Structure 1
């Protein structure tokens, strides 16, 4: 199949497929007589594997590592377990960071409750104070929590 067909089949942009080829996640496909890339069903499966890993937030290096294990199915999977444990820990850290951000935004939002002019808006005043290296309600309350 041609790259456009692979893109449609996988739901992946053509440029992303080319990028994965440049990164070595997809092998460079053979070319047809008309110089079109020719992909196999195995290439499509590999691309779907990559896309699934990426949808789980895995890095390209993680995907490469997993592909190495696919190529050597007799290897022990301890490294795969460790990879996933690291990814779970990174995800937990990101969740905690997003929760802190949410609290900061909620604190900032609480600085303005009524319909006012922009000049009187507590949100805008706090953002301007923070830009001037002063305390902002969103960071002040976060450090107390």
Structure 2
């Protein structure tokens, strides 16, 4: 099948297929006399494998590692594949913890800011980022400014 058929079958762009080829994850089985890339059913199945692995969060490097196992199954054990999944789970757990920290820090910045019409010169968010410190809600410069002038 030509690249256009592969695109339709998998709902992706020609650029995506070419990108996977550049990353050496996918190779056309042959070329036509006119130079068109020709893909076999096996190539289509390989592309489906790549897309499914991508959809569960594997990076291109990790997908390449999985494809190496897929291509030489008899030389690997199931535990090798499971190790790859467990490694990805640990990576995701680290990312979630980091995202949680980002969320907490941003929430603190958000809560500390009055969001009012005072000058950004008094903005607690900018002050906290300039000073590389966390902001506590009671430290909002605008609130202190309002207290001083009331």
Band of TM-score, shorter chain: 0.7 to 0.9
Partner of 1:132: 130
Aligned to 1:106: 107
TM-score of the aligned structures, taking structure 1 as reference length: 0.80
> What corresponds to 1:66 in structure 2?
66
The worse-fitting range, judged by mean Cα deviation, of 99-108 and 84-93 is 99-108
Give the number of the structure with larger relative contact order, counting CA–CA contacts within 8 Å between residues 6 or more apart.
Answer: 1
For residues 126 and 5 of structure 1, what CA distance do their matches in structure 2 show? 56
* 1:28-107 correspondence to structure 2 within 5 Å: 28-74=28-74, 75-107=76-108
Count of residue correspondences: 135
Structure 2 residue runs of 5 or longer lacking an equivalent are 137-150
Moved over 4 A (4+): none
CA deviations 1:111-134 (Å, max 9, x no partner) are 2356x2162697xx1332244335
Between the aligned partners of 1:48 and 1:90, the Cα distance in structure 2 is: 24
The 3 A distance-change label for structure 1 pair 59 and 92 is: same
Shift of 1:103: 1.1
CA–CA distance in structure 2, aligned partners of residues 52 and 99 of structure 1:
27
RMSD over aligned Cα, in angstroms? 2.3
Taking a change above 3 Å as real, the CA distance of residues 97 and 3 of structure 1, as seen in their structure-2 partners, is same
Partner of 1:21: 21
Any conservation in 2 of the 1:29–1:38 contact (CA below 8 Å)? Answer: yes
C-alpha separation between the residues in 1 aligned to 2:68 and 2:120?
59
